[in-house]
C-alpha cells in the first residue's frame, strides 16, 4: 500500500515537521505528476508548473524532481495514464472536488493511481477524492444537494473533509454527522495534514475525528 498524505491547505510554507516526513518518504524523485483540481479548461495555453501552488510547497521544502507533469483535460488519456504509472509522486491538487472526481472517472485514472507504487498526496479537494467517501456542502459552490455523498479512490476506509475556512465550530454544526454514522470522518482545519503509512495514521495540525455524530480533536503525532 502506498504511503498517503491528506493535506488541508497551507497559506505559506509546509510545516517543518511535515517537510521532514516528506523527505523521509519520498526517496525516488524522478517524476512528480499533478492532477488538476480544475481539469476542464478553456485555453490551450499549458499550465506553468511553477504557478501551481502545491508544487511550490514541495519546491520550497527542498523536494525537487527530475520531471514535472500536470494533468488536465488537455492531455490525452493514454498519456495521462502513462505518466501516472511512471510517477514517483502523484499529487491530486485542490480545486473543485466534484469536477476532479468526474475527471478521474472519465480518464480511467482511479485504478492506475491505486495500483501505483508512488507516494500519493492530495490537498483539499484532492484529499477528499483520495478517501473512501466525502460529503458535499453548500460551500463547494456546485448545484448539488448539501450532504450528497461521493465515492473517492478509497485508499483508506474513512471519509475526509477539509476546507481552509472551516474550523471546529463549523464541523460541529452537524453536516458531517450523517456520514459519520456509516464511516469515520477525519475533518481537518487549515494547516493540517494526515499521513497514512504502513497502516498507521499520524496527524499534524488541528484535525478532528467524527464517529457516530461524536467529535474529538486528535493529538498531533508527527
What is the rounded average pLDDT of the residues 140-150?
64
pLDDT in tens, 16-61: 999 999 999 999 999 999 999 999 876 677 788 889 999 999 999 9
pLDDT in tens, 177-211: 889 999 999 999 999 999 999 999 999 999 999 99
CA–CA dist 111, 109 (Å, integer): 6
CA–CA dist 80, 61 (Å, integer): 26
Would you call 36 helix, strand, or coil by DSSP?
strand
pLDDT at 175: 78
Beta carbons within 8 Å of 204's beta carbon, 6+ residues apart = 15, 17, 18, 192, 193, 194, 195, 220, 222
* pLDDT tier, 62 (very low <50, low <70, confident <90, very high otherwise): very high
The pLDDT of residue 173 is above 70: no
Query: CA angle 190-64-78, nearest 5°?
Result: 90
The pLDDT of residue 217 is above 50: yes
Contact 175, 211 (CB under 8 A): no
Beta carbons within 8 Å of 128's beta carbon, 6+ residues apart = 97, 122, 134, 150, 152, 160, 161, 162
CA–CA dist 204, 89 (Å, integer): 20
The DSSP code sequence of 68-117 is EEEESTTS-HHHHHHHHHT-SEEEEEEE-HHHHHHHHHHTT-HHHHHT--
pTM beyond 0.75: yes
The pLDDT of residue 143 is above 50: no
Residue 157 CB burial class (10 angstroms; 0-12, 13-18, ≥19): exposed
Amino acid at each position: 500500500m502506498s504511503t498517503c498524505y491528506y493535506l488541508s491547505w497551507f497559506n505559506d510554507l509546509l510545516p517543518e515537521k511535515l517537510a521532514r516526513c516528506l523527505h523521509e518518504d519520498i526517496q525516488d524523485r524522478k517524476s512528480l505528476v499533478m492532477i488538476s483540481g480544475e481539469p476542464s479548461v478553456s485555453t490551450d495555453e499549458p499550465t506553468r508548473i511553477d504557478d501551481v501552488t502545491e508544487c511550490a510547497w514541495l519546491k520550497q521544502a527542498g523536494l525537487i524532481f527530475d520531471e514535472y507533469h500536470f494533468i488536465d483535460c488537455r492531455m490525452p488519456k493514454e498519456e495521462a495514464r502513462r505518466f501516472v504509472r511512471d510517477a514517483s509522486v502523484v499529487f491530486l491538487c485542490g480545486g473543485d472536488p466534484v469536477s476532479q472526481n468526474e475527471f478521474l472517472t472519465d480518464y480511467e485514472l482511479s485504478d492506475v493511481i491505486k495500483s501505483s507504487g508512488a507516494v500519493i498526496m492530495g490537498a483539499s479537494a484532492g484529499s477528499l477524492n483520495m478517501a473512501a467517501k466525502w460529503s458535499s456542502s453548500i460551500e463547494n459552490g456546485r448545484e448539488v444537494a448539501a450532504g450528497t455523498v461521493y465515492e473517492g479512490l478509497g485508499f483508506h476506509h474513512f471519509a475526509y473533509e477539509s476546507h481552509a475556512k472551516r474550523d471546529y465550530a463549523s464541523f460541529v454544526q452537524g453536516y458531517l454527522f450523517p456520514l459519520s454514522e456509516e464511516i469515520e470522518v477525519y475533518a481537518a482545519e487549515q494547516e493540517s495534514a494526515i499521513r497514512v503509512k504502513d497502516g498507521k495514521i499520524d496527524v499534524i495540525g488541528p484535525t478532528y475525528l467524527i464517529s457516530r455524530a461524536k467529535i474529538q480533536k486528535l493529538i498531533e503525532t508527527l
